[in-house]
Amino acid sequence: MMRVWYDPADGRILYTMQGAADLPGDYIETDLAAEDLGDLTGWAVIGGALVRISLEPLREEARMALTAWITTARARLITALPGQDMIYLAKEAEARAWVGATDPDLATFPLLSAEIGITAPDADQLAQLWLNMADLWRMAAAGLEALRLSTQAAIAEAQTPEDITAALAVITA
């Protein structure tokens, strides 16, 4: 049993204690654990009962869980090195320029030039590989971004804690 001390003037929760001795002040007892309450600003004591008065703390926790999940999902698809995203963008730009050129001079394509023979045997195959990888990333990124945005919207529109849990089901299932 946990005790919840509150301000009788506005019902604001002051602190909680598990199995606490009698301390001065107004309190109620609840079967909820501290983990169930989470951020106390979302609760108040009204008419002697513990009442959720705001979903914002739950929404914030849900947004943080979503961000962590998306971060992990993206990290599975990319090379997480400082500046690597800029290198991939530069490779894609070089590949597009190479494929679009009539008579390209390899000397003016430093990234292609540096990787020939390592990843692909020639510039044409390497450029095509880079373009294919960029397209694959875009498709994966689009799916993740749609999931992130729709889940954020569902969290924002949630009217109950159960709605928030349901919104997160797409990443926790």
Q: What is the DSSP string of 58-125?
A: HHHHHHHHHHHHHHHHHHTTS--STTHHHHHHHHHHHHHHHHH-SS--GGG-HHHHHHBTTTBSSHHH
- Token readout for 82 is 């400082």
Same domain, 31 and 73: no
Q: What is the pLDDT of residue 20?
A: 64
Instruction: Please check whether residue 34 is in contact with residue 18, taking contact to mean a CB–CB distance below 8 angstroms.
Output: yes
**Three-state DSSP state, 46:** strand
Average pLDDT over residues 137-166: 96
Task: Show the domain range for 149.
Answer: 57-172
Closest to 130 (Cα-Cα) out of 140, 121, 119, 114: 119
Residue that is written with structure tokens 């703390």 in the block: 57
Nearest to 130 by CA among 143, 148, 114, 153: 114
86 and 161 together in one domain: yes
37 and 62, same domain (yes or no): no
Tell me, what DSSP letter sits at residue 16? Answer: E
Task: Among 54, 74, 97, give the residue marking a domain's end.
Answer: 54
Same domain, 65 and 129: yes
In a shared domain, residues 111 and 168: yes
User: Please, is 70 exposed, middle or buried when counting C-beta atoms within 10 Å of its C-beta (0-12, 13-18, 19+)?
Assistant: middle
pTM for the structure as a whole: 0.76
26's tokens: 């107004």
Same domain, residue pair 100 and 116: yes
User: How many domains does one find in the chain?
Assistant: 2
Residue 66 has what pLDDT?
Answer: 98
Question: Are 47 and 94 members of one domain?
Answer: no
Q: Is the domain of 85 the same as that of 139?
A: yes
pLDDT in tens, 17-45: 887 667 878 889 898 888 888 888 888 99
Q: Is the pLDDT of residue 71 over 90?
A: yes
Distances (CA, A) of 62 to 18, 38, 88, 141: 26, 12, 32, 21
Q: Answer whether residue 88 shows pLDDT above 80.
A: yes
- Whether 152 and 70 share a structural domain: yes
